[in-house]
């Protein structure tokens, strides 16, 4: 199945070179083609930049959902935490990890971006978009 990650901003990244590198790769939608093959960091996926066709190494895995005791919130805590944290504690999540090319030409360090998506149980409309 395919998933798509929409462009996002990286204003919170202080390193200017890294921020520019991230913005270059996330300036257009990224289509993820999921695979059931195991990889080092989860199940493999292929990320493809929508307009340029450039490919990125990617992984996907089921994240901690409501079954995880560490992520469960009590009713009173639910009112005190941010919305995103409350949703993550009640719904199962999928994590998409994208590894970008190195910022510096001969570096072995690969910048990695992890996107977490809460998934409502039930039928999934393939044409629906998750914001």
Mean pLDDT of the chain: 80
Burial of 45 (0-12, 13-18, 19+ CB in 10 A): buried
Per cent of the chain over pLDDT 90 is 5
pLDDT digits (tens, 9 = 90+) for 19-41: 999 998 888 899 988 887 777 76
Using the predicted structure, report yes or no on whether residue 60 has a pLDDT greater than 60: yes
Return the bridge partners of 113, or none. Answer: 98
pLDDT the model gives residue 42? 72
Provide the 10 A C-beta neighbour count for residue 9: 11
pLDDT digits (tens, 9 = 90+) for 70-104: 556 777 887 888 887 787 777 777 888 898 889 88
């Amino acid at each position: 199945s395919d998933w798509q990650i929409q462009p996002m901003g990286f204003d919170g990244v202080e390193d200017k070179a890294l921020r520019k590198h991230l913005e270059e790769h996330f300036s257009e939608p990224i289509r993820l083609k999921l695979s059931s093959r195991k990889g080092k960091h989860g199940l493999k996926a292929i990320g493809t930049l929508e307009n340029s066709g450039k490919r990125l190494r990617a992984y996907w895995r089921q994240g901690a959902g409501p079954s995880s005791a560490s992520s469960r919130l009590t009713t009173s805590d639910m009112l005190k935490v941010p919305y995103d944290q409350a949703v993550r504690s009640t719904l199962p999540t999928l994590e998409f990890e994208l590894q970008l090319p190195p910022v510096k030409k001969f570096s072995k360090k690969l910048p990695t971006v992890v996107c977490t998506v809460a998934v409502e149980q039930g039928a999934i409309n393939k044409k629906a978009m998750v914001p």
